[in-house]
Amino acid sequence: MKFSLCIGAYPDKDVIYHLEKIKEHGFHGLEYYNWWDLDLIKVAQEQDRIGVGIIATCTRFFNLVDSNYRNEYIHHLQATIDACHILGTKKIITQTGNVIEGISREEQRNAMVETLKQCAILCEQADVTLEVEPLNGLVDHPGHFLQRSDEAVEIIDRVDSPSIKLVFDVYHQQVTEGNVIRNAINYRDRISHYHIADNPGRKQPGTGELNYINILKAIKDTGYDGYVGLECGYTVDTDSALARFKEEILEKVPL
């Protein structure tokens, strides 16, 4: 498995600082969400110099459940794909938007499927993966449409494209549904990459109720060799937290 940090791991530090720190810690990439804030050519040059780069970013516009926004969503996805081409980034994360009151859940799922089918054509041509991310509505994202992993998998299966996958965020799925090891394994074929943080608090692994030694072992045992992103806050300074994560968790997981 490969490990990535997310922008904000070092508060008030820029993308280059994060990349340097990732290299220093022996990790493998950065997730930087707002690509449109970057000087893309400069960052691409710095990635080459440092030896690690941005492995995932986000779509600039989030709304998959309302078909009225389909053209706008696809337009912004194409711009994101163009940015990924400059950065060498292969993963694009998307959320779904909030539930639309007065419209059936099935109709909103159908809108998602149709939009994602059109997105799949662009993503397949560009050799990038569009990753749909369920978010919990209990603590962090009230009203978000897609929250459960089983519903996300149903939608992805209906789209039926190798370029449309799932981000399995262990923190969000623990809050929403629990049962994280079974779901993380059972849905492995639809998962593009994982996010991790502990619960409660969404801080670094090892600070809450989740047994990340067992979780990461279970994921590794499936043969997964992709990215696991630390999308979390930190209870101590970031360097100390990462050193502890490597010593107390990663050293006990045969990678």
The CATH number linked to 59 is 3.20.20.150
At residue 254, the pLDDT reads 75
Question: For residues 42 and 26, what is the distance between their CA atoms, to the nearest angstrom?
Answer: 23
Q: What's the pLDDT tens digit per position in 194-216?
A: 999 999 999 999 999 999 999 99
* pTM for the whole structure: 0.97
191 contacts: CB under 8 Å, gap ≥ 6: 165, 166, 167, 168, 184, 224
Find the helix packing angle between 15-25 and 40-50, rounded to 10°. 20
Q: How many domains does the chain have?
A: 1
Could you read off the pLDDT of 107-163 as tens digits, one per residue?
Answer: 999 999 999 999 999 999 999 999 999 999 999 999 999 999 999 999 999 999 999
Q: Residue 226, exposed/middle/buried by CB under 10 A (0-12, 13-18, 19+)?
A: middle
Q: Report the pLDDT averaged over residues 6-31.
A: 98
The parent domain of residue 35 ranges over 2-252
User: Average per-residue pLDDT in the chain?
Assistant: 97
